[in-house]
């Protein structure tokens, strides 16, 4: 017998039954194919405006900084100011995704924009977040052809552009969207990252320190472009 068979047999023996039968399987499959949320906290729920406000509040509590913008054209200026304030180099590594390529970077010639995945030497990374979760101020990033995962972790400074309309109230809402955006049975991308603040540790004498392996700072460009 393979270990697989032995382990399954031992589990069934402990449960005092053989393999599950048709009805039991059907009930489980129903649960797996139509996932229903358990309790959802009230925090985070509300209209688009409330969601954006809760998101900003929660993200700030987790040591993120949030810049509220009304138009794409404000991004280069806002980013330049942020990098200057934090004494960061003006070279940014940008995810090769259409909405970031459409930003009028020329308006800030000081910014050096390179598209692609993060390299060891990159100090600043910019992604376009797939979404956010208001309840905990969490950024959601999905890996894909234009969205490398390393960009979320390697650079010292992690900047995410987030459209306020993409902020879900809670994780369950975000999962429904992941499912519905893919029309496939296997809808998960290779990696789904939930990012809630900069990298941190308390492993040395329980003292909280930021930036141990991942980014030392997280900046969110929250774009409310309902009007545009």
Partner 1 sequence: MKPTSANFYTNVDKALVDKTLQKALRKTAVGFPMLRAKAIDALPEFDTLRDDAVTLKNDVLDNLDYYLERFETKAIEQGGQVHWCSDTQEANETVLKICQAANAKTVTKGKSMIGEEMGVNEYLEEHGIEPIETDLGEYIIQLRNEPPSHIVGPAIHVPKEEVAEAFKEAHTELDAERSLEEPQELLEEARAILREKFINADVGITGANFLVAETGSSAIVTNEGNGDLTQILPRVHIVLASIEKVVPTLEDASTILRVLARSITGQDLSVYTTFSTGPRRDDDIDGPEEFHVILLDNGRSEMLGNEFRDMLRCIRCGSCLGHCPIYTTIGGHAYGWVYSGPMGKVLIPNLIGHEQSKHLPNACTMCGKCEEVCPLRIPIPTMNRVWRGKEHEAKYSSRASRIALGFWAFMAKRPKLYHLLAGFKYSILGKIGRKKGRFTSVPFASAWTEGRDLPSPQGRTFQQQWSDRGGKR
Kindly identify the residues of this chain, within the stretch 132-191, that bind partner 1 according to CB under 8 A.
135-138, 143-150, 152-154, 170-172, 175, 186-191
Q: Which stretch binds partner 1 (CB under 8 A): 66-74, 76-84, 104-112, 129-137?
A: 129-137
Site for partner 1 in 41-100 (CB under 8 A): 41-43, 58, 62
228 counts as binding partner 1 under rule CB under 8 A: no
- Complex with partner 1: residue 102 or 205, whichever CB lies closer: 205
131 counts as binding partner 1 under rule CB under 8 A: no
Q: How many residues bind partner 1 (CB under 8 A)?
A: 81
* CA nearest to 196, candidates 64, 52, 12: 64
Cα separation, 228 vs 219, whole angstroms: 23
Alpha-carbon dihedral sign for residues 136, 89, 153, 128: positive
Sheet holding 112-115, edge to edge: 64-69, 217-223, 157-163, 124-128, 91-94, 112-115
* CA nearest to 114, candidates 132, 89, 139, 131: 89
Cβ atoms of 66 and 60 closer than 8 Å: yes
* CA nearest to 137, candidates 53, 37, 214: 53
Taking residues 9 to 48 in sequence order and writing x for each that binds partner 1 by CB under 8 A, - otherwise, the string is -xxxxxxx--xx---xx--x--xx--xxxxxxxxx-----
Cα separation, 126 vs 107, whole angstroms: 17
Tell me how far, at minimum, the Cβ of 223 lies from partner 1, in Å: 23
Taking residues 102 to 121 in sequence order and writing x for each that binds partner 1 by CB under 8 A, - otherwise, the string is --------------xx--x-
- Complex with partner 1: residue 131 or 148, whichever CB lies closer: 148
Tell me how far, at minimum, the Cβ of 221 lies from partner 1, in Å: 19
Tokens of 94: 């940008």
- Complex with partner 1: residue 76 or 198, whichever CB lies closer: 198
Tell me how far, at minimum, the Cβ of 183 lies from partner 1, in Å: 15
């Amino acid at each position: 017998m393979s270990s697989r068979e032995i382990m399954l047999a031992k589990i069934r023996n402990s449960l005092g039954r053989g393999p599950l039968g048709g009805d039991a399987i059907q009930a489980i499959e129903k649960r797996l194919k139509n996932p229903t949320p358990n309790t959802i906290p009230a925090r985070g729920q509300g209209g688009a405006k409330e969601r954006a406000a809760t998101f900003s509040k929660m993200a700030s509590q987790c040591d993120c900084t949030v810049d509220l913008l009304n138009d794409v054209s404000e991004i280069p200026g806002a980013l330049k100011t942020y990098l200057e304030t934090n004494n960061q180099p003006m070279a940014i590594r940008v995810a090769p995704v259409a909405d970031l390529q459409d930003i009028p970077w020329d308006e800030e010639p000081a910014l050096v924009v390179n598209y692609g995945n993060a390299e060891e030497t990159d100090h600043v990374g910019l992604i376009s977040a797939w979404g956010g979760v208001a309840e905990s101020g969490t950024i959601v990033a999905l890996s894909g052809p234009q969205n490398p995962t390393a960009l979320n972790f390697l650079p010292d400074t992690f900047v995410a552009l987030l459209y306020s309309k993409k902020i879900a109230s809670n994780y369950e809402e975000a999962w429904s969207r992941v499912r519905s955006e893919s029309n496939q049975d296997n809808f998960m991308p290779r990696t789904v990252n939930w990012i809630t603040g900069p990298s941190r540790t308390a492993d040395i004498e329980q003292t909280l320190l930021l930036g141990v392996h991942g980014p030392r700072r997280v900046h969110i460009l929250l774009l409310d472009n309902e009007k545009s």
